Amino acid sequence: MDNVLYLVVPCYNEQEVLSETANRLETKVNSLIATEKISDKSRIVFVNDGSVDRTWQLIRKLHNRTPLFSGIDLSCNRGHQNALLAGLMTVKDSADMVITMDADLQDDIDAIDLMVDKFMLGIDIVYGVRNNRKKDSFFKKMTAEIFYRLMNSMGANTIFNHADYRLMSKRALNGLAEFTEVNLFLRGIVPMIGYSYDTVFYERGARFAGESKYPLRKMISFAIEGITSLSTRPIRIITGLGIFIFLVSIGMLIYSVARYMSGDTIVGWTTLMVSLWAIGGLILLSLGIVGEYIGKIYMETKKRPRFIIEEFLHKEEKEREDNERTK
C-alpha cells in the first residue's frame, strides 16, 4: 500500500472561493507528502457539477499549473450527491483512501491529518463531525437539530452533525460501488456499508466566500430525499394512522347508535365538518407520500446514469510515460 490520498471536492459556481481552497489544500497535501504520511501520487480532484460561472476554467488552470490538481467536468448539473459519487467512483481504483469535502472551506482541513492517522490504524471510514454549532444562528441550530432527529426517527440512520466530510478506504469505496440506486443519499448509504468506522471532531468555520448552496428549501428537499430513499417508515406511519382512524370511526358509530337509541338528537355538525377536513387532509398527505415512493420506483426502473463525465483532467498516466522515457 502506497497510502495514496485523493481529495474529492464537488464544485458548483465556486469561482469566488476556488483559488483560496486550492491554495490551502495544496499546502496541506504537500505537508503530508513531505512527512511521508501519504504518497506523492496523491491528488486533489475538483468535480465541476455543471457550474455556469468560471469554475471549470479555474480548475483547468490549476491542472495546467501542477499535476497535483485533477478535474472532473460533468456534462450537466447532477446535484451535490451525484457529483460526490462521480468523483469517488472515478478515483477509487487509483487511491488507497479518499476524503470528500465541500469547496467552501467551512470544513477544517487540519482534520485531514487525524483522518489519515485513523486510516493508518486500519479504519475504513472516518467521519468528520462538528463538535459544536456556536457560529450558527438560532434558526440554523434549530433546523439542523430537527433535520438530524427527523432523519433518524424516520429510519434514515445518519451520523449526528456529520455532512459529507469523510475518509473512505479503497475497500469501503468498493462496497459503496455495490449500491446502484439512482436516488442517492450518501450520508445514509455510507453507514450501511458496515466496515470499521471512527469519528474525528472539528470546529466548522464560516463560509470563506460566495453563497450557501443549501438554503432552507433545499435542506427540506434533501431531508425528504434521504427519508424516502432509505426508509419505508413513512408508509408504515400512514398504515398506523389508517388503523387508528378506522378504530375511531367504529367508536363514533357505536356512540352515534347509542345516542339514537336513547332518543337524543345528534347535533355534531361542527364535529362532522372538522372530521371531513381532517380525513381529507390525511388522505391527500398519504397520497403525496405514497406518490413520492412511486416516483422513486419510476426513476429507479429507468436505470438512467447517475452522472456523465464530459472530461477528466489527470496527468498520472502521462507522468509515468515521461518517467519511462527518461530512464
* Bridge partner list, 98: 6, 168
Task: Dig out the grid coordinates for 84 from the structure.
Answer: 460526490
- For residue range 121-147, list pLDDT tens digits in order: 999 999 998 887 666 666 666 766 777
Cα separation, 165 vs 289, in Å, equals 30
Rounded to the nearest angstrom, the gap between the alpha carbon of residue 163 and the centroid of all alpha carbons in its chain is: 7
What does the pLDDT read at residue 20? 93
Cβ-based neighbours of 216, under 8 Å, separated by 6 or more: 143
What does the pLDDT read at residue 12? 92
- For residue range 248-306, list pLDDT tens digits in order: 766 766 766 676 677 665 566 556 656 776 677 677 777 777 777 777 776 667 677 78
Sign of CA dihedral 223, 225, 228, 230: negative
**What pTM value is reported for the model?**
0.73
- For residue range 174-222, list pLDDT tens digits in order: 999 998 887 778 888 898 898 899 999 988 766 555 555 556 666 677 6
| H or E stretch at 131 | none
Mean pLDDT on 19-24: 94
Find, among 266, 176, 260, 186, the residue nearest to 229 by Cα. Answer: 186
